[in-house]
Amino acid sequence: MTARRYFFVHMQKTAGTALRLRLMRHFGELAVYPTKRVDGVDRVKLVLSIDFLRERMAARGDQIVVVTGHFPLCTTTLLEGPFETLTLLREPVERTLSYLRHHRENEPADREKDLEQIYEDPFRFHGFVHNHMTKMLSLRPGEMSDGMLTRVEFTREHLERAKEALAGIDAVGLQEDYDGFCEELETRFGWDLGPSAVVNSSSPAPVSEAFRARIAHDNELDVELYEFARGLVSERQSHAVR
């Protein structure tokens, strides 16, 4: 087994699925958790259940090199480590709209709904939209009642925690420069991720400026976190050049 293990904090709709496929090319299917059929067929459990992840790590941790799935960063403290960490972030309004389009295209019961109707569904809003990136980085184990789906009453403390956590992640990228991030991973870790691939893309859909403004307002912590991430990535790139 390799001496190094990696934990990918996979934010919803940030090109994480495309990166996961490239990680599988490099490490092999069994080395990237979850592996379909080997780890089970319940997709929700595979990508969201921390308890199930811990069971699978106990069962075949000697094979797993990279943990993916939609697990908050603090999950690393519940696993036998250490892990090197990586993540991708995306501009919050575009991330949200991408999630809403993807959900509508893939959920038959909601295909005739407006994006705003899906946005207003409490389960969708609190589980997948509301300051999602801040949640994934700021949650503490004692706060988690349902992994990524944990409902959070956000405060500025969550944002400050998320910024601190992001600054401590080994490799941080932005969806807008996904290919550049993959090149960074290859250079930094010596990986061969192969050619880029586009997966889970959704068709464009017109939305009003009022709806965009509403999303930005509702997700103001993510907006600030994303600006922090842009500055962090820029600073790291400058250091790398020097």
Q: What residues make up the domain containing 33?
A: 6-241
* Residue 86 belongs to a domain: yes
Mean pLDDT of all residues in 212-233: 98
* Residue 151 belongs to a domain: yes
Which residue, 76, 52, 77, 78, is CA-closest to 66? 76
Task: Count other C-beta atoms under 10 Å from residue 203's C-beta.
Answer: 8
In this prediction, residue 240 carries a pLDDT of 79
**Tally of structural domains, the chain:** 1
Task: Count other C-beta atoms under 10 Å from residue 69's C-beta.
Answer: 25
Decide if pLDDT at 200 tops 90: no
**By the 8 A CB rule, do 136 and 240 touch?**
no
Mean pLDDT of all residues in 142-150: 96
Look up tokens 């207003």; give the residue: 120
Q: Give the 3-state DSSP-derived string for the chain, with helices as H, strands as E and coil as C.
A: CCCCCEEEECCCCCCHHHHHHHHHHHHCHHHEECCCCCCCCCHHHHHHCHHHHHHHHHHHCCCCCEECCCCCHHHHHHCCCCCEEEEEECCHHHHHHHHHHHHHHHCHHHCCCCHHHHHCCHHHHHHHHCCHHHHHHHCCCCCCCCHHHCCCCCCHHHHHHHHHHHHHCCEEEEHHHHHHHHHHHHHHHCCCCCCCCCCCCCCCCCCCHHHHHHHHHHCHHHHHHHHHHHHHHHHHHHHHHC
In this prediction, residue 210 carries a pLDDT of 98
**By the 8 A CB rule, do 8 and 19 touch?**
yes
In this prediction, residue 1 carries a pLDDT of 42
66-122 per-position pLDDT tens digit: 999 999 999 999 998 899 999 999 999 999 999 999 999 999 999 999 999 999 999
Look up the CATH number of the domain holding residue 160: 3.40.50.300
* Residue 1 belongs to a domain: no
| Angle value at C-alpha 84, between 78 and 85, nearest 5 degrees | 80
Distance separating alpha carbons of residues 217 and 60, to the nearest angstrom: 43
Confidence band (pLDDT; 50, 70, 90) for 171? Answer: very high
